Amino acid sequence: MKKRIVCFGDSNTWGYDVETDARFPEDVRWTGRLQRLLGENYIIIEEGLCGRTTVFEDPIHEGMNGLAYLCPCLLSHAPVDYLIIMLGSNDCKEIFSATPKNIGDGMKRLIKKAQQTECWRNRAKILVIAPGAIEKGCEMSSYVGEMGRGCSEKSEKLAEYYAACAEELGCDFLDAGHYVKMNQIDFMHWDAESHRRLAGKLAEFFRESGEERGV
């Protein structure tokens, strides 16, 4: 029986390439690479949306609230063996006026919602990924109009709050900041090499932990 892994994220899961203002090809995106690395015994399900937040309603763009979509998302892909959640960068936008703790609490709500959703093949198994810090250059680029001031400083603190949240709720945790690098145009989206490195780390994670966790 194939193991089903849902990847719930934002534009870096969708695969946004700032250099082309389009989507990286499937064989470049970390989700596509992970599928190839894990092989035919796994199904990697892409659920990335540009602009998605953990729990915040975007007053400009419709449908960005991850909490509102999570339950139907998981139910539509049931049975789910594992859920990867990688969100938080968009929560750092000035428009939301959220502190790093607020964003961490938003992630906690997402995890609890996922754990309570009747989508799991066996038990809820969740990997929380801190997306890597937005670089300061973003606030000095043309993209500051979208993100606002302070987004870099907020994002730098997410890994700390996410790690604590994952430990409290019995989830696995990974800091993508150790494996990804932001491009030098908008300073918040990954380059192609970062997709490759993260996919390699995640493949290693599932291979090493799969038997122990029943994945």
Domain boundaries, the chain: 3-213
Q: What is the pTM of this model?
A: 0.94
**Tokens representing 157?**
């603190």
Q: Average pLDDT of 83-101?
A: 96
Q: Which CATH code fits 3-213? A: 3.40.50.1110
pLDDT per residue over 59-82, tens digit each? 999 999 999 999 999 999 999 999
Q: How many CA atoms lie within 13 A of 19 on its CB side?
A: 7
pLDDT per residue over 149-207, tens digit each? 888 899 999 999 999 999 999 999 999 999 999 888 888 899 999 999 999 999 999 99
Edge-to-edge strands, sheet with 42-48: 42-48, 3-9, 82-86, 126-130, 172-175
Burial of 140 (0-12, 13-18, 19+ CB in 10 A): exposed
Confidence of residue 211 (pLDDT cuts 50, 70, 90): very low
Closest CA to 162 of 178, 176, 173, 146: 173
